[in-house]
Structure 1
Amino acid sequence: TLAYGRKALYPCYVFVLLEGLVYGFGFWFVNYLYVWAGLVLVTLLLRKSASYVLLTAAAAGYGLIFGALCAIPYFFIGGWGMGVSYWISGIPFDLLHCAGNAAMSALLLKPLTILLRRLDGRWQRG
């Protein structure tokens, strides 16, 4: 998203489609349709004014709330109890997701953004 802006939605949804093809189109697939687009949107909103530290914090925070975002459909199909229990049961994963996002973003966000911008410049020049 930092390198390609809104065009990042294309590989985002290719990824979601591939996940569905590999793992099957279960109810979790509905979550991925909006959770990944939400990540692109958050990054778009932060990309102009944000430092890599803030973007890393946003990635960590998104990992932390991932389970809550994925629980949204369960509130509609099973009520409050199902939504909350789904969310709470995933909190250990959300903590690991947060830590993993923070570590990977801290290590890779800047170098990969620089690389993608360089590659994009080469493709546009021909």
Structure 2
Amino acid sequence: RCAYCGCELPEKGWHADHVEAVLRKSEQCMKAAAKGIFKLKATGEFYRPEAERLENLFPACAPCNLLKASYSLEMFREQVSLQVERGRKSSMNFRTAERFGLIEAVEKPVVFWFEQYQEGVAV
């Protein structure tokens, strides 16, 4: 399961997320720059190499890992909690569905799946 949202993970296509980001180093691709394109490429080095360890990896679905990016757990929690308001502000589909009672926003704290089910036991 995804450590964050709890969805079932497919056999292929899930991500190994660094809970504490390793922050990959990158540099400008000069080949692209010669064509007037700004592009970064990974150097293979990390700003936080100490975070590159097995205990720091959580299984995650692609949407959760991509949204989490390099956020800390608390910053990620805040980003998830902002999604309803962002949907209201930027999505006519969200506003329409809400207006017709098809979806209902619920105010509640964001609790990650791993926080509820640590070591296979519901907390």
Tell me: higher relative CO, structure 1 or 2? Use CA pairs within 8 A at least 6 residues apart: 2
Structure (1 or 2) with the greater helix fraction: 1
Kindly name which structure, 1 or 2, has the bigger radius of gyration based on alpha carbons.
Answer: 2
Q: Same fold (TM over 0.5)?
A: no
TM-score, length of structure 1 as denominator length: 0.32
